[in-house]
């Protein structure tokens, strides 16, 4: 039997059970007017809504994939009917689904490639283990064909040093060999690869990159940023038929979608990828998270040519900003462009600027004129200044108050940059898991610089709606690891850096949820547990607001729900 409920009836039902809740129970009037029972009711919970209207609740109801009522147990139970799924949360904590605003979603790499490091956790490996894995791969690969390793982290090596060409020569002298740093801006090559590329000690560094040398003055095999382009033209690459490529893309996307929801992510900003495969994965029922698709290259050009603007799509797959337009190097790999030299490097080195100001200005104008949100990768203060100059210029030419351009990473700021970021309406997508995972790299910058890096406190205090960007694969994408690092600024090794940039748990939760929705201009439909919004939420085994802050990353994800459907259950 179906029962009808009026708005007045809902409010009346809630009266007795709301003691201790923050705010007033409420519901979506339009959904309530449709009548009928809820599809799902969750009660007896500690609900952190991330909605200032009512910050805490006991229960909520879901109909047609959206929250229809939030408040007391009585309020939600009033919507229970014969077909309603009921979940007794047993006082577990429920928060909105987490949103990652910068993720390379490298599922195909996870499924098919040689992983020489742990993609998800802090784990130390040996150089010998890397050599052994790649040697096995070389034995299965035709001579002259590239042998590749992924997810190397130079500070997660028991040997206490970086890879070099001589290590990789032990893999093979017949194959070109490359190991890619998980940060994405440096790679390590064997002697065969250097030979095929025609490199010698006399080869000059190209603009925006370096061919590094060891203490002996010879090429070490480490190559940074744009200098790596020369290797794309040499050696043989594995080849696949169109059908095989399509299958690999689908399998990779389905695999990583399962991984995302296992960690509580219900929304992810994808940095490019196979857009057709993504749609196929959705059609097959294997897309478990929502996607803001950020693109560049041929697809971006096609969008511009055909008048397709940011926001095209639906609640599951929507075209977002551009993918990160790279302006400098890496924070974790120490190649970002800074105004002062890195410490302990001779000759003095200030990092890599990978694009000139005039080229950047032209790119920003082309994209903004087409109605597509600008998004640039900038880590160091020099690069952030360049991006802001490009944004300020084009916004002055073509004002757009709701443009919300992104700066991905936006790692090292100063007071002037902070002022300009606020004035231009820029949304920074700052590193989250780095504070915990990469604390072993912060000594390369020193205590004073780290006070202005990953500056969540500074952003919030300036009224800037900073969002969370794991930058996977460079950083793990576990939101709870990110929240712990943002709250404590203490890494896996017990070192604390930039304590002045700590935020509260409530602030970190908002950054990872509602601010993420704001970053994709979707705060009206997701990011909080609010009637009328998409029913995306995560159930946690413990309350991250009350446990010891250094235990947050270990809290178990019990259930992840996207659109009212359970997509992961422990």
- Please state, in angstroms and rounded to a whole number, the distance separating the CA atoms of residues 101 and 479: 11
The predicted pLDDT at position 345 comes to 84
pTM, 2 dp: 0.93
The pLDDT value recorded for residue 15 is 34
Q: Are strands 59-63 and 93-96 parallel, antiparallel or unpaired?
A: unpaired
d(CA 63, CA 61): 7
Tokens 């002045």 belong to which residue? 500
Judged by DSSP in three states, 335 sits in: coil
| β-bridge mates for residue 99, sequence order | 267
Q: What phi and psi, each to the nearest 5 degrees, are found at residue 135?
A: -65, -40
Buried b (16+ CB within 10 A) or exposed e, 517-538: bbbbbbbeebbbbbbebbbbbb
Pick the closest to residue 80 from 68, 97, 65, 95 (CA basis): 68
Instruction: Report the pLDDT value the prediction gives residue 36, as an integer from 0 to 100.
Output: 72
Are the C-beta atoms of 325 and 356 separated by less than 8 Å?
no
Measured from the Cβ of residue 362, the count of other Cβ atoms closer than 10 Å reads: 13
Residue by residue, pLDDT tens for the chain (570 residues) are 233 333 333 333 333 334 446 555 565 555 555 557 999 999 999 999 999 999 999 999 999 999 999 999 998 989 999 999 999 999 999 999 999 999 999 899 999 999 999 999 999 999 999 999 999 999 999 999 999 999 999 999 999 999 999 999 999 999 999 999 999 999 999 999 999 999 999 999 999 999 999 999 999 999 999 999 999 999 999 999 999 999 999 999 999 999 999 999 999 999 999 999 999 999 999 999 999 999 999 999 999 999 999 999 999 999 999 999 999 999 999 999 999 999 888 889 999 999 999 999 999 999 999 999 999 999 999 999 999 999 999 999 999 989 999 999 999 999 999 999 999 999 999 999 999 999 999 999 999 999 999 999 999 999 999 999 999 999 999 999 999 999 999 999 999 999 999 999 999 999 999 999 999 999 999 999 999 999 999 999 999 999 999 999 999 999 999 999 999 999
3-state SS, residue 458: helix
Q: Is the bond leading into 356 cis (omega within 30 degrees of zero)? A: no
Asked if residues 294 and 278 have their Cβ atoms less than 8 Å apart, the reply is: no
* Sequence-distant (≥ 6) Cβ neighbours of residue 150 within 8 angstroms: 106, 109, 113, 114, 115, 116, 117, 179, 180, 182, 473
Q: Is the dihedral of CA 508, 514, 515, 516 positive or negative?
A: positive
Q: What is the pLDDT of residue 4?
A: 36
Write out the H or E segment, with its range, that includes residue 95: strand 93-96
């Amino acid at each position: 039997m179906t029962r009808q409920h009026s708005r007045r009836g809902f409010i009346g039902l809630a009266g007795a059970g709301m003691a201790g809740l923050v705010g007033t129970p409420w519901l979506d009037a339009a959904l309530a007017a449709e009548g009928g029972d809820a599809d799902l009711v969750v009660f007896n919970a500690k609900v952190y809504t991330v909605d200032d209207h009512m910050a805490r609740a006991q229960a909520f109801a879901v109909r047609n994939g959206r929250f229809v009522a939030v408040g007391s147990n009585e309020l939600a139970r009033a919507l229970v009917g014969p077909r309603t799924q009921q979940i007794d949360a047993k006082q577990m904590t429920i928060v909105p689904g987490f949103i990652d605003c910068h993720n390379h979603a490298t599922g195909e790499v996870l499924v098919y490639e040689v992983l020489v490091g742990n993609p998800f956790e802090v784990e130390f490996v040996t150089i010998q283990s890397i050599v052994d894995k790649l040697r096995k791969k070389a034995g299965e690969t035709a001579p002259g064909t590239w042998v590749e390793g992924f997810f190397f982290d130079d500070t997660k090596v028991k040997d206490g040093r970086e890879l070099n060409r001589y290590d990789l020569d032990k893999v093979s002298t017949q194959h070109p060999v490359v190991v890619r740093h998980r940060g994405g801006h440096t790679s390590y090559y064997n002697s065969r690869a250097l030979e095929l590329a025609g490199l010698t000690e006399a080869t000059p560094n190209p603009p925006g990159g370096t061919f590094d040398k060891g203490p002996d003055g010879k090429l070490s095999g480490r190559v940074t940023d744009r200098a790596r382009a020369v290797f794309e033209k040499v050696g043989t690459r594995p080849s696949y038929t169109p059908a095989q490529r399509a299958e690999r893309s689908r399998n990779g996307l389905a695999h990583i979608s399962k991984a995302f929801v296992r960690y509580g992510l219900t929304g992810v900003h994808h940095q490019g990828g196979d857009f057709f495969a993504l749609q196929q994965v959705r059609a097959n029922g294997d897309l478990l998270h929502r996607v803001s698709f950020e693109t560049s290259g041929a697809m971006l050009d096609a969008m511009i040519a055909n008048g397709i603007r940011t926001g095209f799509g639906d609640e599951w797959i929507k075209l977002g900003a551009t993918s990160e337009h790279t302006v400098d190097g890496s924070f974790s790999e120490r190649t970002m462009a800074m105004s002062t030299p890195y410490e302990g490097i001779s000759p003095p080195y200030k990092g890599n600027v990978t694009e000139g100001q005039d080229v950047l200005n032209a790119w920003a104008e082309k994209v903004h004129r087409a109605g597509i949100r600008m998004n640039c990768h900038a880590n160091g203060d020099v690069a952030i200044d360049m991006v802001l100059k490009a944004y300020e210029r084009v916004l002055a030419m073509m004002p757009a108050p709701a443009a919300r351009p992104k700066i991905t990473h936006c790692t090292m700021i100063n007071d002037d940059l902070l002022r300009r970021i606020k004035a231009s309406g820029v949304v920074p997508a700052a590193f989250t898991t780095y504070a915990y995972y990469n604390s072993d790299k912060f000594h390369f910058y020193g205590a004073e610089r780290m006070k202005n890096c990953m500056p969540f406190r500074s952003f919030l205090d300036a009224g800037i709606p900073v969002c969370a960007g794991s930058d996977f694969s460079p950083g793990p994408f576990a939101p709870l690891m990110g929240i712990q690092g943002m709250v404590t600024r203490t890494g896996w090794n017990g070192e604390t850096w930039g304590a002045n940039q700590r935020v509260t748990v409530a602030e970190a939760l908002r950054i990872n949820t509602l601010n993420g929705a704001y970053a994709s201009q979707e705060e009206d439909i997701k990011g909080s547990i609010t009637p009328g919004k998409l029913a995306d939420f995560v159930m946690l085994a413990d309350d991250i607001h009350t446990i010891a802050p250094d235990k947050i990353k270990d809290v178990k994800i019990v259930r992840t729900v996207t659109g009212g459907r359970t997509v992961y259950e422990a």
